[in-house]
Amino acid sequence: MGAGVQQGASSGGRRGRRRKGGSKPMSEINITPFVDVMLVLLIIFMVAAPLLTVGVPVELPKTAASALPTEQEEPLTITIEADGQLSIQNTEIEDEALIGRLRAIAAERSNDKVFLRADGSIPYERVVQVMGALNKGGFSNIGLVTDTGGPSLDGQGG
């Protein structure tokens, strides 16, 4: 009374069926490696993106003003460091070349908004001089960048 395995006469002990013309190439794409690579790239960009927006380090003054709404185009940022050095985005620039560079940038941009970041220890006169240069260079919509948490001047405290 033994149990046995019955093999079909045509199979000859092989698994599956073969066609006469040989093996046909597989036409399906294995997307698992593709998904793995895309997930790794997504993680890399998620980690690296915040690091790319770091500007020139300055000690911004603190105010009670709320943040400006974000826009489609990356805003132009002018920075005045504690030693008085000017920077457009992350590139240092001399005072004499500022207006010419601003005019060239204004010709390429559709938006005349510019953000001015100035160290809190910079004299007001220097900030106003740079604002005048921005206006002369074609940028009339100037936003002053500050940190939050400063005095509100409404008697409520900070």
**E strand or H helix at 106, and its extent?**
helix 95-108
pLDDT tens string 96-150: 999 999 999 888 888 888 899 998 888 989 999 999 999 998 888 888 888 877 7
Burial grade of 129 (CB within 10 A; 0-12, 13-18, 19 or more): middle
All structural domains of the chain: 62-148 (3.30.420.270)
Query: Among residues 143, 119, 116, 146, which one has the least CA distance to residue 130?
Result: 116
User: What is the radius of gyration, based on Cα positions, of the chain?
Assistant: 32
Tokens for 150, please give them: 């400063």
pLDDT tens string 70-85: 656 677 889 999 888 9
Read off the pTM.
0.54
Give the type of residue at 100.
G
Euclidean distance between CA atoms 51 and 45, whole angstroms: 10
